[in-house]
Structures are given as C-alpha cells and as structure tokens.
Structure 1
Amino acid sequence: MELLNETAEIVNNGISQFTFNATDYTVFVFMLFISFGIGVYFGFFAKGADTTDEYLMGGKRMKTIPIAISLVASQLSGISIMTIPSEMYSFGINWCFNVMSMLIVVPILCYVVIPVFYNNNISNCYEYLEIRFNRKTRQIQTIAFIVTLFLMLPVFIFIPALAFSQVTGINIHLINTIVCSICVFYTMFGGIKAVVWTDVVQAFIMVTSVVLVGILATVKIGGIGEVYHIAKAGGRLNINLAFDLTTRSTLWNCFISGTLMWASYVGLNQSCVQRIVSLPSLGHAKRSLVIFGFGFILILGFNTYTGIAMYSRYHDCDPIQAGFVQKTDKLMPYFVQDIVGHLKGMPGVFISCVFSAALSTMSASLNSLSGIVYFDYIKPYIRHTESRANLIMKFSPTLQLNTA
C-alpha cells in the first residue's frame, strides 16, 4: 500500500494539466482496439496447435526482432517514463550509466546465462534450480515470483489508470476493469504470440511519444548545442567518479547496480526467459538479445536526454519554485504539456504511452505466471493432457488478476 501511495504521488495533480478531447479519446481507444484485435487474430484465426508449448512459447518458432522489441517494451513502465527524466533534471547524467550497463549485461546473458537454458532444454528458468539443487528450492523461488507479481500487478495498472482518470474524470475502477479485461483477453486467447505482437505495437507508441517530446523540446530550446551548453553550465553533465558510498549517484554505483539488476531481471526472470527460449535456437536468442541491448540503450538513452532537455528548458525558471508543480516526480507531465500540449491528440498519445508500458509488462507477467502455476502447482495433482493444460492456462490469467 505504501508503494501504491508513493507511485500515485508521481502522477497525481501533475498530470491534471491535460484535458482530453475527441481526438485524444480516439487515439487511446485505437491503441486498445489494436491490442484486442491482435488477441482475436492469434486466438481464433492464426494457425497453431492447441498445446502448452504453443501457448507459452509459440511452438519455439518466434521471430528474432519481435522478441527483441517485446523485451525492450517490458523493461519500460509508466513509472520509469515519468521519473527517469526527473532524475536527470534534479541530479544530472550519472544515472544514465545504469542504462549503459547493458553493454556488459548482453554479453553475460549471451555467453553465460541463456546457453544454460538451451543446453539443458529448459523453458522454465526455475526448473534449473530443481536440477541444480532440489525441488524445494524451486518451489521457494516460484512462490517468491508469484507473490512478487501479485503485489506488483495492481501497481502496473494503477498509475496509468490514475493518469487517465485525472484527465477524463472517469472512475478509476471502471478504467481498470475495461483495460485489464482487454489485457486478460489477448493474453488468455492469444498466448505468447499475442503478448509479443501487442508489445511491438505498444513499443511503437512509447517510442513515438518519448522521441517526439525530446525532439520538439530540443527545437524549442534552440537546438542540441544550446541544450548541451545550458546543461553543462548547470552541472548536469558532470560525471561523478568518486568512490564515496555516501554519494547518491556515481558512475560506479549506477553501472554496477545496473549490471546486477538488468542481468537478473532479463536473464533470471521467467517473464523474460520464456520469450527468449521461444526462439528456435541459441543463435537466434543471441541475435535477439543484441538487438534488445541496442534498442534498450537507444530508448532509455533518449528518455534520459529528455530529462537533460527539461533542465535546459527550466534552468532559469524552476516550475517547483514557481509553484506550478509540487515535486520533481510531477515534472514530466508538466513538461509534456508545455512542449506538445498545443498539438491535437498529444495528451492521448502520452496517456497511451503510459498505458502501453503498463500493459506490456502486465501481459508478459500473466502469461509466464500461467505456466508457473500450472506446471508447478496443478500438473502434479491432475491427469495431464495438452487440451486440459491449455484450457487451465488460458483461464488462469483471469483468476490471477482478480486475486491481485
């Protein structure tokens, strides 16, 4: 509850400068309609066997680039889209080394972590714990995974729902019901294929929003050179090389913590591993991870640049001191309104961006959670058939989300 209240503060009031019109509603509904349509296609029209392998891993015939894009999309969230620029605005560029740690993470994943799953023909990353140690160790980890997702799933959707409620006045519980229903629908009927391809669409929305804001901000400020000079003069481009543990952000603590965080999340979290091992071979997985690494650095790098541009825009008129916003975490919505608020449909694009980040994470989590629950806690106690297993996994996302 404390986490929910804290993240709610990020968007509350700050996003209220937006007002929705018919164009914005059209943009938002169009985004949801595409996700719904992808679920319908893969659930009822695309050819594929009715098996657990098809539902969870697309028959191990998934394509390299869509998986890479899906992995990038799932690393973003509504919280990160709005708070990373605020970090740059307040404390400078050092946090970007958290993003640059991906240069080390990708080789670790390609040559140390992922080959273990392919060489042992493992599709469930927690299965390795049973092979290496024992079943109890596997169960402890899967319980931790399930509990973590049950705690985080409401947070994933709460932030964008709160944002949408702020700009439209629609009841937040009604928004949650509609959007979560669509997410459960395409995850339930479309399986991993629908999850991946909706991630591709949602990633396009996120990139469009972030890049458009960054470019238009640069134009308003006077170009990249002007952004650079103002940020440098304000100390926002200073790299902290100190080894002082009491220092908030340095190159070292950001790079090291980023390496540990991203390696564990991408390489040892079932929602990511499941998509990686859905590729036909280890070679495909390595190529996908390399593309993912470059895409991750590009998109999050652009997001950090937006924070530097934000500082350049407000270096001589701080919106917090002026009383326009109450705290730095609310700066991004204010900045978006300032830069692109005059463009018709941009509030819809921005809210769609925040929702897309949430849905990409949620759908991947629900799909992987279905597999974990079935194979670890249901299969040992029933007579297993492919049709029965597939039916249970298709309907388990609804139960999981209702419980969460």
Structure 2
Amino acid sequence: MLESSFDWSKGVRGSFGVLDYVVFGGMLATSLAIGIYYAIKSRNKANDEFLLGSRSLSCFPVSMSLLASYISAILVLGGPSEAYYHGLQWWVICCGQIALPVAAVVFMPFFYELGLTSVYEYLELRFGSRWVRCVAGGMFVIQMLLYQAVVIYAPALAIASVTDFPLWVSVITVGVIASLYTSIGGMKAVVWTDVLQLFILMTGLISVIIKGLLDLGSFQKVWDVGVKNDRAGPQIFTYGYIPLQRHTVPNIIISAFVSKLAQYSCTQTTVQRYTSMKSITHAYMSIFLVIPFFILLISLTMVAGLVIFATYEGCDPLAAGLITQKDQILPFFVMDRLSVVPGLTGLFVACIFSGALSTISSGVNSQAAVTWEDVFSTIPRCAKLSKNTQAWITKFLALGYGLLAVCLAFLAGNLGGVLQAAIAVTSSVAGPLLAVFIMALFMPFTNSKGACAALIIGTGIALGFSFGGTALGLKPELLPTSTDACPANLTIPLPPDTLPVRVSDLPYPQKILGLSYTQLGPLGLVVGLIVGVLVSLATGMSGGRRVERSLVHKWVRWSLPLPVDITARTKAHSYDNKMSTHF
C-alpha cells in the first residue's frame, strides 16, 4: 500500500517548512554571494576577465563547470523517470564518453592555441565570410535561449504540481538570480557557482537513494524488483542498430558520441572554458575529469529511478492519477517520503534548481561573449570604446539574455508546443554545427557556401523529422505498472480510450518520421557533411582563395602549399594579422 506523508486522495500538496526555505534560500544566497565576490574582485577590469577569467582558471573547477553546463534540471527529473518507466537501458549513454578523449586530442589543442573568445570567429577566418560566422553564432544564441526557457520552466512546473511552491516564484527567482550573479561576476563566478551547484545536485540525489533504501531494506531488494518488472537485468538491453526504435544500445551510444563530440569540441560554452585555462595541461585534465563525474551523476539518476519504482511497485502514482506527467515522479517521491525529515524537501528543490542555475549561467555568459565578439566588436565605434566600457556592455548583454530566457519560460507555459520545439532545436543543431567545424578543420577545399548550406539544410531536415513525429502524435510506450496496492479510498482514473500512436502501426512513408529522437544529431551530422561537400564542389570549392595552413588542423596541413611570406601577408590583411599573434 502507498503510505503517504499526507493524504493525496484529498488533493493536499506538500508544503515547505521553515528549514526547507532556509536550505533552499541558502543555496541561492551563496550563489549570489559568489557573484558579488568576483564582481568586487574584478571591478574595473576588461572583457578578458569577465569572459575568460583572465585565462587563469585551473582544471578541477572548469571540469565541474563543463559538466554542469550540460547537466540541467531536465536530466535530474528525466533520468529517474526514464529508469522508472522505461528501464535502465539508457544507462549505456555513459559509453558515449569515449567522445571526450577524441575532443581532447583532436579539437581542444587547436582552439586553445587559437585563443579566440568566440569560436565562431574562427569560421569567418577560415571561410573568409561573415555569413558563416553569423549563421552559426545566431543558431547558438537561439538554441541556448530556447533551451534555457525549458530549463527554467520544466522543473518549476514539476515542483509546482506537487508542492505549494508557486510556479511564477520559481521561474523568476531562478532566472533573475542566475542572470544577476553571472552578469556581475563573469566567468569565475559561473565556474565556482557551477561547482557549488553540482555538489548540491549530487547531494540531493544521494539523499533520495538513501531514504529509499532505508525504507525498502536493501539494494538487492530494489534490484530484484527491477529485474522482475523488466526495469533492470540483461534482458532489458536491445542490441542492433534500429533507427526507428526509441532506444537500442547502438542507438544510444551513437547519439551520445555525436552529441558529446559536438558539445566538447566546438560549442561556444566549452571552447570559451578551454581558452580560460592557465595552461593546455589544465585544459586536457578538465576534459578527462568530466568522464568519471558524468558516469557518477548518470548512475545516481538511474539508481534513484530504480529505488522509486521499487517503492511504488504496487501503486504507480501516474497510473493512479496522483501525478499527470512521468517527469513528476521524482518530486512526488520527495514530497511523499522525504518531507517527514525537515530540510530534505528544501535540499531537493535546491538540487533541482542547482541544475537550472548552472545551465542558465553558463548559457548567458557564452551568449554575451558571442554577441560582443561577433556583433559589437566588429562595429568601429564600439571597438574604440574603453575596455571598462566594453566590459559593462557585455555584462548588460548577459543580464539581458537571462531576463529574456525568463520571459520565454512564461511563454513556454502558455504555448505548450514551444517546449517540444526547444528540445528539438537543441538536438538538431548540434550535428550540423559539428559537420561545419569538421569541414573547416579537415577539408580545405570546402567554402562558405557549403558551410552555410550544411548548417541550414542539416538543421532543417533534423527539425523536420522531429516535428513530423510530433505531428503524428508519436509518444514513447511506457513499461507496465500496477495500481493493485493503492489505498482503497484512492480513485483510480479510467484508462484513456485512445492508445498512443506507435511507429510499428504507421504505414510508409509516415513510418520514416518515427525516427528515434536519439538519431536527430547523427542525422544532422551526416546530412550536413554531405550537403556541405557537394555544395562546395558545385560552387568552385575554395575558388582560388588561399587557405592559411594555421587555419586547418595539423593533420591536413601537408595538403596545402607552404606560406610564401607570412609577414607581408599579415600587414596586408587585418584578420591574418590577428591570427599571426596566436601562432
């Protein structure tokens, strides 16, 4: 029987106690204090301090920041619900971490030595066109804005649905505080608050696991329940590459490899952190340190989901009508089981919003960097401003992006389709963007027309598949659950008359739109490479434009002619002059 801390059959929600507010408020206040500290310490300093931390950061905090930038509250909520309703097969995403050594060895040294604040400036230097730089930078800014709206709104909605914590308070509090400490403290504030928030996030997940194990008796019991219900054990893994199936082991590994390679090789958020390191050795270490911590965090979310399933084996809250969405299962468990211990509910809310804060702060700092470097710094009047004035403009840009994300979060609440669109954009942009950087670094014959076509067409096709599946009403099937042990006074809602649309039920060509969401990134990568190469070949390749050897990867520099007179060329061309300072 489901023994709740309060009577859910009467519609009562969990409430915050004084200690819960103290714990949650303490996390927010500490994050803000870190921003104020670095604002005071770095006052009257230039953009190099605000955006790159004066290039003096070390490996441990940066590795935590790299991890926190992509571990949002969506993962904290979605990981346990994935294990609960779909099983542990998603755990193999950890195998995708093999992409990080590739990023460390192949991509990171190149961009570290390049030393640019905006990674998209490299595309202009390589292809000799501002269009590629603007398209790539614009896609990054839009992608981050939409993703930030999801990161703010989704956890706020999940918590508001099972507690008395108002939705609008959650949205405004998290968005404004993250924007404020980022805009005043800069990169160092972002990095060190990421460390704090990642620690709180892990502490919250561990508390969920410990409380569940204490109630159930042992992990062996949890595992046995999971195996019996097809949530755990070797029988849950599906081998073979099946693009139309939601999850198989190859599907997940391929998706994770592409997404991690894109994230840690050529996105503004990560490259900006590489260039903020005090040495290339620290940059290497920052990437490799991500691997064990990522595996630990994913493992915590999976184990938490398994513990929660064992707790509600006989009375699934979703099937019983106690929650309306599967991602609410973790907040429900916390309010149901942890609220008896003062402060633990506040710790959990701090855990959820720590994931949101770290993603938002990293995003707005990178968006400000891209906007200043790719837009304002190219305007002669802005370039002549004092360094202190430039830094203030960049800070206001960061604050503005944060507040804009808050506004989009409220819009997402009124227009439900925006949430789906934001998630689709995030996964669909990564593949084509990686394709363009592969073209730039390893294919000297490609040109700006091919790069722009790769970005636009690759992203468009990936989004088309995503929106097509949504239009057909495709939804993932949940593993069976039970309500046999629910309390007698609990009214169980009748099952819906209509079953979810399954890919196997669709005829061709609609069946093709059932492509697994895990394959959107790989699809965008393959389409981007093919389109970029073909368009470049059809438009005269480099068109006689000489590609500098320093702008392609050292592995392919042998294919380019030796430079004739670098000194003379750099005097004639301003961008060549800028590049010569780095090589």
Amino acid at match of 1:21: G
The higher relative CO (CA closer than 8 Å, separation ≥ 6) is in: 1
- Check if 1:19 corresponds to 2:20: no
Q: Larger deviation: 125-134 or 288-297?
A: 125-134
**How far apart are 1:403 and its partner, in Å?**
3.7
In the aligned structure 2, how far is the partner of 1:375 from the partner of 1:47?
20
Gapped regions of structure 1 (runs ≥ 5): 1-14
Q: Larger deviation: 120-129 or 344-353?
A: 120-129
In the aligned structure 1, how far is the partner of 2:301 from the partner of 2:125?
41
Equivalent positions of 1:125-136 (< 5 A) are 125-134=119-128, 135-136=130-131
- Check if 1:260 corresponds to 2:258: yes
Gapped regions of structure 2 (runs ≥ 5): 1-10, 406-583
Structure with a larger share of its residues in helix: 1
Q: 1:246 to 1:47 in 2, by over 3 A?
A: closer
Superposed CA deviations along residues 258-306 of structure 1, whole A, max 9, x for unmatched, are: 1111221232221222123211222111111111111111111111121
Match of 2:185 in 1: 190
Equivalent positions of 1:364-403 (< 5 A) are 364-381=362-379, 382=381, 383-403=384-404
**How far apart are 1:167 and its partner, in Å?**
6.5
Match of 2:139 in 1: 144
In the aligned structure 1, how far is the partner of 2:173 from the partner of 2:290?
31
Match of 2:110 in 1: 116
Superposed CA deviations along residues 21-41 of structure 1, whole A, max 9, x for unmatched, are: 111111111111101111111
- Check if 1:73 corresponds to 2:68: yes
Amino acid at match of 1:25: Y
Contact 1:55 1:190 in 2 (8 A): yes
Q: 1:316 to 1:369 in 2, by over 3 A?
A: same
In the aligned structure 2, how far is the partner of 1:23 from the partner of 1:161?
20
The alignment of Structure 1 onto Structure 2 pairs a total of residues equal to 388
Amino acid at match of 2:373: F
In the aligned structure 1, how far is the partner of 2:169 from the partner of 2:350?
17
Percent identity between the aligned chains? 32
Provide the alpha-carbon RMSD of the alignment.
2.2
In the aligned structure 2, how far is the partner of 1:330 from the partner of 1:175?
16
**How far apart are 1:336 and its partner, in Å?**
2.1
In the aligned structure 1, how far is the partner of 2:276 from the partner of 2:44?
15
In the aligned structure 2, how far is the partner of 1:360 from the partner of 1:286?
22
Amino acid at match of 2:358: S
Equivalent positions of 1:61-100 (< 5 A) are 61-100=56-95
Match of 1:226 in 2: 221
Q: 1:183 to 1:328 in 2, by over 3 A?
A: closer
**How far apart are 1:211 and its partner, in Å?**
1.1
With normalisation by structure 1, the TM-score equals 0.89
Amino acid at match of 1:107: P
**How far apart are 1:315 and its partner, in Å?**
2.7
Q: Quick one: which of 247, 250, 254 aligns to 1:249? A: 247
- Check if 1:56 corresponds to 2:51: yes
Q: Secondary structure at the match of 2:317?
A: coil
Superposed CA deviations along residues 194-213 of structure 1, whole A, max 9, x for unmatched, are: 11111111111101001111
Match of 2:39 in 1: 43
Match of 1:12 in 2: none
Q: 1:182 to 1:16 in 2, by over 3 A?
A: farther
Q: Larger deviation: 270-279 or 249-258?
A: 270-279
**How far apart are 1:365 and its partner, in Å?**
0.8
**How far apart are 1:152 and its partner, in Å?**
2.8
Larger radius of gyration: 2
Equivalent positions of 1:159-308 (< 5 A) are 159-163=154-158, 165=160, 169=164, 172-237=167-232, 238-308=236-306
Q: Quick one: which of 19, 24, 29 aligns to 1:28? A: 24
Match of 2:564 in 1: none
Q: Larger deviation: 77-86 or 393-402?
A: 393-402
In the aligned structure 1, how far is the partner of 2:70 from the partner of 2:160?
24
**How far apart are 1:392 and its partner, in Å?**
0.7
Amino acid at match of 1:33: A
In the aligned structure 1, how far is the partner of 2:175 from the partner of 2:272?
22
Q: Larger deviation: 108-117 or 314-323?
A: 314-323
Amino acid at match of 1:255: I
In the aligned structure 2, how far is the partner of 1:154 from the partner of 1:275?
23
In the aligned structure 2, how far is the partner of 1:16 from the partner of 1:354?
22
In the aligned structure 1, how far is the partner of 2:160 from the partner of 2:263?
31
Amino acid at match of 2:25: V
Q: Secondary structure at the match of 1:126?
A: helix
Amino acid at match of 1:114: M
**How far apart are 1:179 and its partner, in Å?**
3.5
Amino acid at match of 1:398: L
Match of 1:154 in 2: 149
Match of 2:420 in 1: none
Q: 1:252 to 1:30 in 2, by over 3 A?
A: same
Q: Secondary structure at the match of 2:375?
A: helix
